[in-house]
A and B are shown apart, each in its own frame.
Chain A
């Protein structure tokens, strides 16, 4: 479980996050939703340590992340996997080398064992016989799946996904969402997904945090989101005509 308490963050005098507190539960897909520029990515980057919050606390299963020493933070990071918006695969490395990278860097596994693990992870995300291709030779959806394979190669406890289905067609987007959900259930991970895609929200949103202009406006689950009374969230959810038509009376 990841708990954030009273997180605030400003850039050059502009406050991006204001006093956000939330609990991201273990074994569930926790979603951070909101409009573009609402502070979702900044919150996630604060949680993984890419930004340091101005105020607040972050706990990874009761470990105070911000109070950890550099070495302890590094050790904790080995328990994290992250899927970036643009996949962030290493251009100069093949699919196999990308997935093997964390294993080669942080474990003492033999080369055969590494290859076995790499193939297992790639099979898990349905990437078959693509080991020697480079990221530029893969489609967007495949790149995302390879990035998931790399993120899970060290069997992380915490998985972060920054807009995992942005730029993908609806079918591939749902495949990626389902994959994240399956992996979360399978490994009992604490998964945090940033999204503004309502399909994802309704598909995998076990525990949802809605942010608007850096302020937490609502929390709940996919079962409750269609009945909300919070204006900002209501406007966000029912922006599409399709959802307006199925809106509960």
Chain B
């Protein structure tokens, strides 16, 4: 018999790093030492080639002729491929067709890949890719939402959620307001650009190292493009240098291009995007144009609503159907709309195909109702917080416009707590006093809630798998279908496994996500990572535990109920055995120490034809109170204090959750303030790097930033240890900054005028709002 690991002396000790503790990110020490490997850091296979693509120079055109001879003859170039070299599928649309792996005759956005190059260096590939001579026949581009709405040019059909008779309710309401808002897009700006490394295998397949949130889709699409069965391709993701939704579908196109080049050359191919290429070539958050028509009573309580949301999808559907759905599902945010119609349009434009980004349309939908809350407040001369509170969902007003009943009402109390802890009312008064005596600099304040539905709205994606192995020294290895993009999923899953066996989290290793370990996985998206994969991991642990308990009861002659896992030991009535010894004993008695696990989310369903159902298992909630300072001469501003109270249920890891909340908030603040995507009139992106596209820098973080987790609020649904998803919901807390900026401008009119403020609220747009407030005042003067 081979030798088993020997017993080391042990003392029972309370297991450390279990779920609920602030265990460190599993890669934290590797991060700070520069040892964490991203795709471009991996050891390079011999003969590695580097890929780049040639871009369409026009938004909408037919390619009449393409002369690639200069590309082919550039020093270092080994291969050049076009769509004609694709052996399998040429369309890699993730849900609906429409995304050619390389454009054929028709190009539909500036920067669309039209051919690909493999060369001996990254620079050679990029330089060569610029040498193509392409003749275009120009077609009329549609570049704006307005134009697409006018032409009814959509990538997917328009749909509606309807409850009751909103037209009648609007007509009958004591007050009625209409408004509109342009909501800007957002570049993901993950610090690690898109990247993959594809190696041909000895069986004619491909092994793909990818920086992707969706390795199973990368695997499937690479197989389809090469005309291979899926099992011939494996995809692996150890970590991403940020994802935020930008690597849900967008990573696949790179992997497919690299695989084509690897297929043609027989060599490993690395394809990583320079920042400018990444910004030009890959999709972003959808910009939206939204309108509302609301009827309300003297108290500001909404009686009827007619809301329209229109997202700019770009040239193809990608995930836009579901993204606009989610905008529609969140056009109510936390408020009961009563009689309501919500219409969603999916506008086609000749721009890059927009894609998933943290919140997935939800933030854009929420913006219109949060604007409306402020508008109602100014109209009725109420404090906006009061209007928000009056419109919250509650008992008896708990059915959404899409028919889901809200079962856990967290927000009224949560907002009350935050109103007190942030000292909202006293600060409101201080701010009014300050503004009255400060002619140039004004302060603004806003407290806004978030209610965010948790589950993929594409019901079939709500499933996950995991694979747990216990080795004979007691160490445990887990793979699951989720990917690590910095959000701390790996450590949370390790904590779940450690908790299942009550052993130190250091006993548990999580390794790279691989399609040959756990198959057919869903993307790590929709905030679902720990909900789905945590439950799948727990399922695998429970299966092993059931075997172990049965074995232990027999081996140590006790009842099933007497077997307990605690303190790095297993206790059988009066007997205690160290975890390692217990595992070895089970092994010697031929008990399987490995299991897969599976989870599918219960209860959820949705009828898209009727626009009615129960798409979410539960809602995550939070609220934020932001204070800003603005300069009415230039429109510049500063966020000075932020208080947040957020509901993560029973936290799996409070420190990791705090990081998601703070990071999400700042990312949303950037989206609504300084992050501006500017296009030329021809549809060419002008903001192609951090020199012109400004994500928040360190001094944008408010000097006074107070974040709390809501206490004693376990999820009422049976989620993993009663936690709540935390990836996306806190993002929308940043809407409070935009409302506070408007509040500061409204102070110029003694809060009687609700200024227009499309997003991002750059200093320039802020000065526009200030100008509008001054014009309104001047008009009032004339009226007198």
The finding on whether chains A and B are genuine partners in a shared complex, rather than unrelated, reads no
Interface residues of chain B, those whose CB is within 8 Å of chain A, are none
